[in-house]
């Protein structure tokens, strides 16, 4: 069976390192599916979830919430480098819900004060919180 290695790296170190037979990710240009022996490529990632189908079982899927970054594929090695990333089992759902509520409050404040910079930052924070919440529900 063909396989590849998938690594997810953040400034805190490697948070994921396993063999896989399929990776699904969302780049800024659209969605991508990666199988073993994929052509070499580098692409910027969107704030979204990464789906990794492991080699040990058809039903063994790992989910990772990434907040942007880059994906590189080369020689059966998929490397994802992100400022922050969390596996589904490591996400604190209560914290993510609080972050979502805080971002929604900041969006409303930014709209009232017509602060476009604050609005953009709050919208990104909301997108990240919702992504973490969605990934945590895959467990």
For the chain, give every domain's residue range: 4-88, 91-136
Residue ranges, the chain, pLDDT below 70: 1, 139
Percent of the chain past pLDDT 70, that is, above it, reads 99
Q: Residue 109 in contact with residue 125, Cβ under 8 Å?
A: no
SS3 103: helix
Pick the CATH number of 91-136 from 3.40.1000, 1.10.287, 1.20.5, 1.10.730: 1.20.5
Task: Please give the pLDDT value at position 13.
Answer: 94
Q: Please tell me whether the overall predicted TM-score, pTM, comes out greater than 0.75 for this model.
A: yes
pLDDT number for residue 32 = 97
For residue 2, give Cα distances in angstroms to 30, 35, 62, 77, 135.
25, 9, 18, 12, 27
pLDDT given for residue 1 in this prediction: 59
Span 4-88: which CATH code?
Answer: 2.60.15.10
Structure tokens at 121: 């930052």
């Amino acid at each position: 069976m063909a396989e590849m290695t998938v690594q997810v790296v953040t400034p805190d170190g490697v948070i994921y390192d396993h063999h896989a037979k399929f990776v699904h990710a969302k780049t800024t240009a659209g969605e991508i599916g990666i199988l073993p022996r994929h052509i070499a490529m580098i692409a910027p990632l969107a704030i979204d979830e990464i789906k990794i189908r492991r080699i040990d079982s058809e039903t063994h899927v790992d989910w990772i919430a990434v907040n942007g970054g880059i994906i590189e594929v080369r020689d059966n090695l998929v490397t994802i480098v992100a400022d922050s990333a969390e596996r589904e089992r490591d996400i604190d759902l209560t914290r993510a819900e609080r972050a979502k509520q805080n971002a929604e409050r900041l969006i409303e404040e930014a709209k009232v004060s017509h602060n476009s910079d604050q609005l953009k930052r709050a919208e990104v924070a909301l997108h990240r919180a919702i992504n973490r919440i969605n990934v945590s529900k895959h467990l």
